[in-house]
Amino acid sequence: MNVRLFMLSLIAFGLGFAAAGSRAQNRPRPQRAPIPDDAPPLPENTTECNYQTPVDFLVRENFLPRWTQPPEEQRRRRGLQAQAVEWRTQHYGYFEGFGNRRDNENTPMENSSRVEFMDLSVRLNNQIHPALACVEQQIRAECGDDDYTPVRLSGLRTRNTYHNGQVSNHVYGIAIDIDPQLNTCCMCVAQWGDHPLCQNPVESIYERMAMPPCWVHVFERFGFYWLGRDRLQDTMHFEFLGDPAHILKSAGPAPHMAAQAGEGSAVETGETGEAETEATETDATETGEAADSEAVEPAATEGDSEAATETAEPATEETQTPATAEEESATEEAATEETTEAPEEESAPESSGCSVAFPGL
Ligand SMILES: [Zn+2]
């Protein structure tokens, strides 16, 4: 068999495998849900934390190269991506295989500890604990009318399940998933795509999650980026992309906020507004988007396959949810046993009562 024939066979096999895995029930790919631009005006800030928007280059949508982009734009974005890794290493810890160990002598795990959030325990990087406390304080003050009590959280993970050259913010302990069994990630993986909440046409992404929109608005004020705005529409996931050195008012405003202050109201809507625009591109480009989201990643040389792209995402991260400190070691052990080749199901923690949850990012 000559090389070309061999390669064609490989591609054909890959396509068939991916298609079989992702469209097991022959349901159509879900439509991306519109994301309302409905954040209320910023209330008076009575917390100890600064309001801040994400640092621009840390937002996934801003640094991920797309294969449809000109080469120079892809190069620029790869530079931003490296910059984002360096930032996360310096602030949160060195994660094996990404960035430079000289930038931080500790791992994110060593820089993390368990923290209470809405009466649940979750392990997160120590740096962002104050921001989460302010989020909780404000949720309790402002979102009380929404009867929502989360039952499970997922924070730091010890294994990066991305296998496309990216590194998850969960490994740095700066991402938190809220009720992964209830708040969907419709564009992530096949399992979610087949979920009734993802199949139904909706007028707003909020119809695809249990969490009140008020929670989204509050998280976003304190430097958390909601991955519901990303093209993957991962509604369970918030990641702290603000400046950890300027979470507290006592540390003064973050430099990137000072820069934005000079631009007027951009302070309030800034990056999240841009990301939203990109994430709500028309359906006509959906297939291309889905493919291009991973196509230029190093490991995804078969990036012209939408199905292959889809199966690349599920392995990106498992949704591990240690409910107690005691469960944590067992969960991490389980994580190391998982393959990166197939969508992963989670065994629910004892306390949640849920049998299955789907992976998010
Ligand atoms: Zn997540």
Task: Using the mean position of ligand 1's atoms as its centre, give its distance from the Cα of residue 167 in Å.
Answer: 12
Task: Using the mean position of ligand 1's atoms as its centre, give its distance from the Cα of residue 168 in Å.
Answer: 8
Concatenating the DSSP letter of every residue in 184-220 gives -BTTT-HHHHTSHHHHS--SSGGGG-SS-HHHHHHHH
Q: How far apart are CA 122 and CA 169, in angstroms?
A: 15
Task: Using the mean position of ligand 1's atoms as its centre, give its distance from the Cα of residue 359 in Å.
Answer: 8
Residue 90 is predicted with a pLDDT of 98
Mean pLDDT of 233-237: 96
Residue 305 has pLDDT above 70, yes or no: no
Task: Using the mean position of ligand 1's atoms as its centre, give its distance from the Cα of residue 162 in Å.
Answer: 12
Torsion sign over Cα 78, 81, 82, 83: positive
Residue 40 is predicted with a pLDDT of 95
Look up residue 68 and give its two tokens: 């449809």
Q: Are 154 and 180 in contact (CB under 8 A)?
A: yes
Over residues 57-111, the pLDDT tens digits come to 999 999 999 999 999 999 999 999 999 999 999 999 999 999 999 999 999 999 9
Among candidate residues 259, 359, 268, the one with its CA nearest the CA of residue 45: 268
Residues 6+ apart with CB under 8 A from 2: none
Residue 213 has pLDDT above 90, yes or no: yes
Task: Using the mean position of ligand 1's atoms as its centre, give its distance from the Cα of residue 320 in Å.
Answer: 10
Look up residue 138 and give its two tokens: 């404000």
Look up residue 46 and give its two tokens: 């009575």
pLDDT band at 23 (very low <50, low <70, confident <90, very high): very low
Mean pLDDT lowest among 63-72, 210-219, 272-281: 272-281
Q: Are 360 and 234 in contact (CB under 8 A)?
A: yes
Residue 182 is predicted with a pLDDT of 95
Which CA distances in Å does 267 have to 230, 246, 259? 20, 15, 9
pLDDT band at 145 (very low <50, low <70, confident <90, very high): confident
pLDDT band at 125 (very low <50, low <70, confident <90, very high): very high
Q: Which residue has the tokens 């910059």?
A: 83
Mean pLDDT of 207-217: 97
Which comes out higher in pLDDT, residue 24 or 267?
Answer: 24
Which comes out higher in pLDDT, residue 18 or 67?
Answer: 67
Residue 359 is predicted with a pLDDT of 53
Look up residue 267 and give its two tokens: 């302070």
Task: Using the mean position of ligand 1's atoms as its centre, give its distance from the Cα of residue 123 in Å.
Answer: 13
Residue 17 is predicted with a pLDDT of 35
Residue 133 has pLDDT above 80, yes or no: yes
Residue 334 has pLDDT above 90, yes or no: no
Task: Using the mean position of ligand 1's atoms as its centre, give its distance from the Cα of residue 235 in Å.
Answer: 9
Mean pLDDT of 252-279: 57
Concatenating the DSSP letter of every residue in 278-307 gives HHT--GGGHHHHHHHHHHTSTT-TTTT-HH
Task: Using the mean position of ligand 1's atoms as its centre, give its distance from the Cα of residue 360 in Å.
Answer: 5
Residue 281 has pLDDT above 50, yes or no: no
Mean pLDDT of 342-351: 29
Mean pLDDT of 267-281: 35
Task: Using the mean position of ligand 1's atoms as its centre, give its distance from the Cα of residue 175 in Å.
Answer: 6
Task: Using the mean position of ligand 1's atoms as its centre, give its distance from the Cα of residue 176 in Å.
Answer: 6
Q: Are 128 and 263 in contact (CB under 8 A)?
A: no
Among candidate residues 103, 68, 66, 67, the one with its CA nearest the CA of residue 83: 103
Residue 327 is predicted with a pLDDT of 34
Q: Do you know the residue count of the chain?
A: 361
Task: Using the mean position of ligand 1's atoms as its centre, give its distance from the Cα of residue 112 in Å.
Answer: 17
Residue 139 is predicted with a pLDDT of 96
Residue 147 is predicted with a pLDDT of 83
pLDDT band at 280 (very low <50, low <70, confident <90, very high): very low
Task: Using the mean position of ligand 1's atoms as its centre, give its distance from the Cα of residue 285 in Å.
Answer: 25
Residue 180 is predicted with a pLDDT of 95
Which CA distances in Å does 280 have to 39, 61, 224, 359? 16, 12, 20, 22
Among candidate residues 216, 214, 218, the one with its CA nearest the CA of residue 137: 218
Task: Using the mean position of ligand 1's atoms as its centre, give its distance from the Cα of residue 236 in Å.
Answer: 7
Task: Using the mean position of ligand 1's atoms as its centre, give its distance from the Cα of residue 1 in Å.
Answer: 43
Q: What is the phi/psi pair of residue 280, to 5°?
A: -110, 30
Task: Using the mean position of ligand 1's atoms as its centre, give its distance from the Cα of residue 177 in Å.
Answer: 5
Task: Using the mean position of ligand 1's atoms as its centre, give its distance from the Cα of residue 155 in Å.
Answer: 8
Which CA distances in Å does 186 have to 129, 134, 168? 29, 29, 18
Task: Using the mean position of ligand 1's atoms as its centre, give its distance from the Cα of residue 201 in Å.
Answer: 24
Task: Using the mean position of ligand 1's atoms as its centre, give its distance from the Cα of residue 263 in Å.
Answer: 32
Task: Using the mean position of ligand 1's atoms as its centre, give its distance from the Cα of residue 28 in Å.
Answer: 24
Residue 43 has pLDDT above 60, yes or no: yes
Over residues 147-193, the pLDDT tens digits come to 899 999 999 999 986 767 889 999 999 999 999 999 999 998 888 88
Ranges of beta strands (E only) in 118-268 are: 120-125, 153-154, 175-178, 224-226, 237-240
pLDDT band at 361 (very low <50, low <70, confident <90, very high): low
Residue 263 is predicted with a pLDDT of 60
What is the residue-averaged pLDDT of the chain?
74
Residue 227 has pLDDT above 70, yes or no: yes
Among candidate residues 82, 108, 80, the one with its CA nearest the CA of residue 94: 108
